């Protein structure tokens, strides 16, 4: 009896190792697996952020390089038909300009819109041809952005860096260096911008349809009175409409 009682007291004092505590019954934690599960969302988020930024960075780089090229190599020296703009701006600055001078025909084209641009720059900075070239570059960059938007809608998925880079290299090709560094050729860039903005308005823009149609008609008129090739805007717009 005494031996049994002593045995029960010892058993009560010694912890039951077979059952174990609550912490002992939990499975051992694997720090490596926990850290991987915590790091995986951050890695995925970083990749998504990089993927979302690489296309805007590519576009910005292409536009910046082209603009830097124009800023570096443009000079305020008239060449070719630039002399005709001087004959327009000089009488305007002295109050002798009439509408016939703006409407006058240049070869097969009516360049009313470019003449208005030349006149505005003549009043602003005494017709610095570098300003005209920079404006042409900005118009080309704006047309490029609209083209990428149209390309995204056509493909039905977000653009990646490679097609943006390839299209940009063709779009800003230095083969067109003559027009890029020739102020009078701003008419070409105006026509190109209008030919891009018309499909953007009629196919992509979320503005009211009547407003899009009205602006598209204005764009076609601007293209028509910038160069003879601008008349292409009318069949283009009619087909899209």
Average of per-residue pLDDT values in the chain: 86
Of the candidate ranges 21-25, 104-108, 177-181, 205-209, the one whose mean pLDDT is the lowest: 21-25
pLDDT at 18 exceeding the cut of 50: no
Nearest partner of 205 among 136, 129, 153, 137, judged by Cα: 153
pLDDT in tens, 74-103: 999 998 899 888 888 988 888 888 888 899
**Between 15 and 181, the higher pLDDT residue:** 181
pLDDT at 120 exceeding the cut of 90: yes
Which pLDDT score, from 0 to 100, does residue 92 have?
Answer: 87
pLDDT at 12 exceeding the cut of 60: no
pLDDT at 29 exceeding the cut of 70: no
Nearest partner of 142 among 211, 206, 67, judged by Cα: 67
pLDDT in tens, 199-229: 999 999 999 999 999 999 999 999 999 999 9
Of the candidate ranges 22-31, 87-96, 160-169, the one whose mean pLDDT is the lowest: 22-31
Average pLDDT estimate for 149-156? 94
Model confidence at 1, pLDDT cuts 50, 70, 90, reads very low
Model confidence at 239, pLDDT cuts 50, 70, 90, reads very high
Residues with Cβ within 8 Å of 216's Cβ and at least 6 positions away in sequence, in order, are 197, 198, 201, 202, 237, 241
Which pLDDT score, from 0 to 100, does residue 202 have?
Answer: 96
SS3 string, the chain, reads CHHHHHHHHHHHHCCCCCCCCHHHHCCCCCHHHHHHHHHHHHHHHHHHHHHHHHHHHHHHHHHHHHHHHHHHHCCCCCCCCHHHHHHHHHHHHCCCCCHHHHHCEECCEECHHHHHHHHHHHHHHCCCHHHHHHHHHHHHHHHHHHHHHHHHHHHCCCCCHHHHHHHHHHHCCHHHHHHHCCHHHHHHHHHHHHHHHHHHHHHHCCCCHHHHHHHHHHHHHHHHCCCHHHHHHHHHHHHHC
Query: Which two structure tokens, joined as six digits, stand for 228?
Result: 């003879």
Of the candidate ranges 41-45, 74-78, 117-121, the one whose mean pLDDT is the lowest: 41-45
Which pLDDT score, from 0 to 100, does residue 9 have?
Answer: 53
Average pLDDT estimate for 150-171? 95
Which pLDDT score, from 0 to 100, does residue 51 have?
Answer: 74
pLDDT at 175 exceeding the cut of 50: yes
Residue 95 φ then ψ, to 5°: 75, 25
Average pLDDT estimate for 143-152? 97
Residue 208 φ then ψ, to 5°: -55, 145
Looking at the chain, the whole-number percentage of residues with pLDDT higher than 90 is 64
């Amino acid at each position: 009896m005494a031996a049994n009682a002593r045995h029960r007291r010892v058993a009560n004092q010694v912890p039951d190792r077979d059952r174990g505590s609550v912490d002992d019954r939990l499975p051992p934690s694997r720090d490596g697996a926990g850290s991987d599960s915590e790091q995986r969302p951050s890695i995925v988020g970083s990749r998504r952020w990089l993927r979302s930024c690489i296309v805007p960075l590519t576009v910005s780089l292409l536009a910046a390089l082209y603009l830097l090229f124009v800023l570096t190599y443009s000079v305020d020296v008239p060449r070719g038909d630039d002399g005709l703009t001087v004959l327009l701006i000089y009488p305007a600055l002295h109050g002798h300009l009439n509408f016939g001078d703006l409407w006058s025909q240049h070869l097969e084209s009516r360049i009313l819109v470019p003449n208005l641009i030349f006149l505005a720059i003549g009043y602003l900075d005494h017709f610095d041809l570098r300003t005209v070239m920079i404006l042409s570059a900005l118009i080309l960059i704006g047309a490029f952005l609209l083209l990428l938007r149209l390309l995204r809608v056509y493909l039905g998925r977000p653009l990646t860096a490679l097609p943006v880079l390839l299209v940009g290299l063709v779009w800003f090709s230095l083969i067109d260096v003559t027009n890029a560094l020739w102020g009078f050729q701003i008419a070409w860039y105006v026509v190109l911008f209008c030919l891009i903005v018309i499909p953007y308005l009629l196919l992509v823009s979320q503005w009211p349809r009547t407003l899009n149609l009205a602006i598209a008609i204005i764009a076609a008129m601007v293209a028509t009175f910038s160069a003879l090739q601008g008349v292409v805007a009318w069949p283009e717009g009619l087909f899209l409409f």
